[in-house]
A and B are shown apart, each in its own frame.
Chain A
Amino acid sequence: MRRIEGDWFPGGIPDNVEVQEGAYIETASSFSRFRSLRPSAVRMGKNSSAYAGCMFDLGPDAELDVGPWTLFNGLWVIADAKVSIGAFGLISWNVVVMDCYRVVHDIDARRRQLEAFAASRDLNLLSRHSASDAPRPVVIEDNVWIGFDCCILPGVRIGSGSVVGARSVVATDVPANCLAAGNPARVVRNLGAEERQHG
């Protein structure tokens, strides 16, 4: 556990979180739901940043890999397997990236799960999956910009250079170098020569 200087939150950064040179984590409150036991649970790449409001809600077997220069401003990662985010990513407020729904579909089994959770408040009880709701890793490639309030759902891959409009819900893969938006998100257009010329 490493304390962050001046942090208002009483906790620290867990030992299995690698914070590379120049990377910044504003507050350890982002780890208040963090339970991963993986030796390398989180890798915050060089010069990446995670500001207050981020939440790394990682179950016991989850990993999060963040490339260099990627910026999170209030991202919620809900992971029980793996979320990978490449370099130069821009992830806005209240974006949820989830590799699992954490829902037991059988209602009686879910009731037992919630009763056990109320007795212990052990968040790991909510990270147990049956074969039908197994987590599916999420991959966000390099240089992806995700607007505020988006949800990126389990199993999705977003190609490099793409942009996801605000409040979109991304349920299927997004190819590289395009603009996707909507709920459910669809490709609106390609980001081609014009954008490269005029920024």
Chain B
Amino acid sequence: MTRSDPNICWDSGPLPSTVRVGTNTRINGQHAFRRIRASASDALIVGSNTTIDGVQFSIGPDARVSIGDYCCFTAAVIMSECRISIGNYVLIGFNAVIADSDFHPLDPAARIADAMACSPAGGGMVRPKVAAAPVVVEDDVWIGPGAVIFKGVHIGRGAWIAPGSMVTRSVPAGTCVGGNPARPMERPD
């Protein structure tokens, strides 16, 4: 693909050098790639024939995000400090969030250091270590609008995540979860 691909539409022009996109994939999002802080050429890999209508990626310096083929996302938020792998034929609804990190430390003293390091006035202070664990979303998963997938969660093939779910634990293939925290439930028809 070329850097001036008409399938990629965001407010800062060409595709960043950290992003690789397959053929016939469409990505539309005003601030889609603004929060990519990684420098690797494969920080974000998106497969072919995927449609992403509205998205914000936040990808930390050492993080990697991969998305498969024939996915369909609507206004999704993908925040990675570690590793997020999304398979093929995955559907993600409006305003759903996938995050593989806690973003900030739990320990109060470390959090003060983190607040200072995160400030534009932090002068390059090193951030304390933050808990992170890879997220895996296997093929054919459906994630409803407003659902949140947290760090370390592995969603098995064909699982169904109800709208608004807070998913803190892994979901076996072919099952349905919902609620806060998300628990197994019967799939509504």
CB-based contact B89/A183 at 8 Å = no
Chain A contact-residue range equals 20 to 34
Q: Total contacts A to B, CB within 8 angstroms?
A: 87
For the complex of A and B, list the 7 residue pairs with the smallest distance between their C-beta atoms, beginning with the closest: A169-B164, A118-B49, A183-B180, A151-B163, A151-B164, A96-B145, A114-B70
Q: B residues bordering A, Cβ < 8 Å?
A: 24, 26, 49-51, 70-72, 89, 91, 93-95, 140, 142, 144-146, 158, 160, 162-166, 178-180, 187-189
Assembled-state Cα–Cα distance A184/B180 (Å) = 8
Q: Are A98 and B145 in contact (CB under 8 A)?
A: yes
A133 neighbours in B (Cβ, 8 Å):
189
Asked if A117 and B164 sit within 8 Å, CB to CB, the answer is no
Q: How far is the CA of A126 from the CA of B140 in the complex (A)?
A: 15
Decide: A169 near B89, CB < 8 A? Known: A94-B146, A126-B72, A153-B188.
no
**Are the C-beta atoms of A110 and B178 separated by less than 8 Å?**
no
- Name the one of A94, A105, A114, A184 contacting B179, with C-beta atoms under 8 angstroms: A184
* Chain A interface (Cβ < 8 Å from any Cβ of B): 55, 76, 78, 94, 96, 98, 101, 103, 105, 107, 110-111, 114-115, 117-119, 121, 126, 132-133, 149-151, 153-154, 167-169, 171, 182-184
The answer on a CB contact under 8 Å between B70 and A115 is yes
Partner of B188, one of A149, A154, A183: A154
Residue among B71, B89, B146, B166 having the largest count of chain A Cβ atoms under 10 Å: B146
Chain B residues within 8 Å of A94, by CB? 95, 146
